[in-house]
Amino acid sequence: MTGKPDRKIILEDGSEYYGHSFGSDEEKILEIVFNTSVVGYQEILSDPSYTDQAVVMTYPLIGNYGMAAADYETLQPSIGALVVHEYNDEPSNFRSEKTLGEVMKRFGIAGISGLDTRKLNRSIRDVGSRKALLTAASTTLEEGISKLKSFEMPRDAVSRVSSHSMWESEGTDVEFHVVAIDCGMKRNIVRSLVKRGCRVTVVPWDTDAEHILDLNPDGVFISNGPGDPTDVPETIETIRKLIGKCPIFGICLGHQIISLAYGAKTYKLKFGHRGGNHPVKDLETGKIEITSQNHSYAVDEKSLSGTKLKATHINILDNTIEGVSCAEDRVFSVQYHPESAPGPQDSAHLFDRFIRMMKENRTEGAKIHA
């Protein structure tokens, strides 16, 4: 893209990055983060966990294969903005139905291209994720800094992206009923459960434990989602009341919520984990899996002491906790995304583990009542 820059990013330290607008051109203040994935920008764009965030792609060329209806992770994308080095508005892919820019404009997602994303990503890595203003190139630095200083990031993201009513999805040969608590759930999670013989009843983030138990589930799943896990005390309390009542599996934000429900603590990472290339070690098998991740918060390892949870996985890059479990309660969770689309697929077996857990729980229940 050529011509005079018409958009820019202003950071709280006074740095400015000029570029060209695509998608929506509305002014926004967002948390700026980066993602190291080489492919999958559509899945990133439509992942509800990116609500209120501006995502800087480290891969330089974005938009080259367009957008396909089958690849959305939510029908109403809520990401704040996409920041890229080079935007391609003429995709070459037989599956492409719309350009990335067309979709972003439709959903009010801001875009900026043509800036030095390497420099910007180094800044995020060195200083950390923080507030950023996406605005017109004509906005003065003084105006921008003033807006950033006076703006408080919202803390209601989960309530905005969760389903507002209960809905169901099921395939053929249904064997188990899973109630999924939607905190901003990716569609591929539901697909992954359905293809393994589950009827999935999706409920809003603030559904109480009594209502969930009335649905008579074989297991409960708690999803990924945006923001600080301590912002959803209602969901934490729901999980606390469900522990021991049925098998529970959590992913990403769900992992953090489960940990908090057991009495552990969470903290915010400097710049988070986002990308499809994070190595995670299974502490029980010693196996290393390459995982897809998207989160700002982690579980404090020391805070697990005194709870019934034990650490099951760690991140090889920084030794942060990536999984916990309680065998007695049939509860386990991971910080990463085993349902990851477009990949990697190393961790898909965790859904099979959840199926086995529900099957064992059903078998033991039958023995007790025999």
- State the Cα–Cα distance between residues 235 and 230, nearest whole angstrom: 9
Q: Which residues are catalytically annotated?
A: 252, 337, 339
Contact between 67 and 103 under an 8 Å Cβ cutoff? The reply is: yes
CA distance 174 to 198: 5
In the 8-state DSSP scheme, what is residue 160? H
Q: Which two tokens stand for residue 43?
A: 């899945």
| H or E stretch covering 63 | none
CA-nearest of 160, 159, 177 to 168 is 177
Q: Tell me how far CA of residue 186 lies from CA of 13, 112, 199, 228, 349, in angstroms.
A: 34, 25, 16, 18, 18
Whole-number Å distance between alpha carbons of 101 and 123? 26
How buried is 166 (Cβ within 10 angstroms: 0-12 exposed, 13-18 middle, 19+ buried)? middle
Whole-number Å distance between alpha carbons of 135 and 158: 26
Which segments of the chain does DSSP mark as H helices, in order? 41-45, 100-106, 117-127, 141-150, 157-161, 187-194, 209-214, 233-242, 253-261, 349-369
Number of neighbouring beta carbons within 10 Å of residue 90:
9
∠309-315-316 over CA atoms, to 5°? 135
Q: How many of the other CB atoms lie within 10 Å of CB of 181?
A: 28
Q: Helix 187-194 vs helix 349-369: angle between axes, to the nearest 10 degrees?
A: 50
